[in-house]
Amino acid sequence: MTYINKGVPGIDQYITLNEPDVGAVLPKELYPQNAEVPMLFKPLTIRGVTFHNRIFVSPMCQFSSDNGHATDWHFVHIGGFATRGVGAVCMEATAVVPEGRISPQDAGLWADSQIAPLKRIVNFVHAHGVKIGVQLSHAGRKASTTASWLRFNSDRTAKTAKYIAEAEEGGWPDRVFAPSEIQFSPEYPKPKAISEEQIQAVVDAFGQAAERCKAAGFDFIEIHAAHGYLLHSFNSPLSNTRTDQYGGSLENRLRFPLQAIERVRAVWDKPLFVRISATEWAEGPEQDPTTGEWKSWGIEQSKIYVGELKKLGVDLVDCSTGGNWIKQKITSVPGYQVPFAEALKKTYPDLPIGAVGMITEPEQAESYLREGKADIVSLAREFIRQPHWAILAADKLGVAVKAANQYERGFPHLIGARHP
């Protein structure tokens, strides 16, 4: 009998073929412990795309792009997760226009030349049977800022006292746009109120970036409408004091984000996710109990917003919080954002909801799915600390999943569990 170390078919280099896909549950006939599979490791199919488990890698800003182009850092960073058992990887906030970047070294998809380095990453991820998406974004009033480690690095010394990336540092502080001329904080650039004509240009840019996502081969798109960036800042009466059709009433404040999302949906027939901030953690009630006036952005408006997203054909809402109000007061405890995901799930039981935020333990993540609080979990910092989190979670939850051929020797107890 001949034994061949088979490669993945149809690609331009040799990559060993994993059967089944990395992170997939191994057959129960060989692994009796897999007769009952934890929710974390049950496949999820959205709009014809099947994710082999419900552990997603959240977008993580890397501040490592070359004029918006992905580099080998991204290839290693993203590719590494694809070999370690996750269901999906979502690439970092990727600007649809140059001035929509958070920092001068942020990712972009405003030019065709940015497609090829992304496609190289996508092809590698697909070779391991993993799905990959990208988070399309516009930073709004939080644009033209410096990389995080310039402000505070690991030895707790600040290299710069400011957040603004000046023109001589590659920034564009005079081309920062927001709903209104309200700074996020004194350390951030003072924005200009974006005009209606410029709003339509950004809407078009989202659509054009989605077309480039097709060429790159992404499996899903996530629209970044959270954390105080441009789309989210239009939601809130604290950052949006406009008096035109894009400000004032809730309907008006939602208009621009919904237009951008609708434009992407019109050209994108694969899964479309939207990340929202369900609250901005401002003090006081979200709505004045006497007048009915909305005072800040919170869960009740988020429920209405998500209803509109559902009407547009959004396939999953990735529920985060915060980032728009500099005076936010958050008690950060494990799973502190999950109650907001649960509230959205109860309101829209048939809409997939993602939970994020200080999810570090497998039993914790599993409980959120088992209790119907969310349909997927997304992790970021925990994956930085432990890239093999998904495989280790499977072991802890008592299920055998496929490790990459090259890494199986690191998990001999999984192979040892096999029965004839």
Residues involved in catalysis: 229
- Cis bond leading into 285, ω under 30°? no
Q: Beta 49-51 vs 44-46: how paired, if at all?
A: antiparallel
What's the Rg (C-alpha) of the chain? 22
Closest CA to 142 of 106, 111, 79, 188: 188
- The distance from CA 19 to its chain's CA centroid, rounded to whole angstroms, is 28
Closest CA to 92 of 82, 71, 78, 113: 78
Closest CA to 138 of 90, 175, 89: 175
Tokens 């040799």 identify what position?
A: 14
Q: How far apart are CA 223 and CA 121, in angstroms?
A: 20
Closest CA to 78 of 95, 66, 64: 64
**Backbone angles phi and psi of 218, in degrees to 5:** -60, 150
Q: Contact at 8 Å (CB) between 223 and 260?
A: yes
**Backbone angles phi and psi of 107, in degrees to 5:** -75, 155
Q: How far apart are CA 374 and CA 194, in angstroms?
A: 35
Largest CA distance in the chain: 81
| Three-class SS state of 381 | helix
Q: Which residues pair with 91 in a beta bridge?
A: 134
Q: Beta 192-193 vs 131-137: how paired, if at all?
A: unpaired
Query: Sign (positive/negative) of CA torsion 274, 261, 111, 146?
Result: negative
Q: Contact at 8 Å (CB) between 368 and 38?
A: no
Closest CA to 236 of 129, 172, 324: 324
Closest CA to 402 of 17, 3, 99: 17
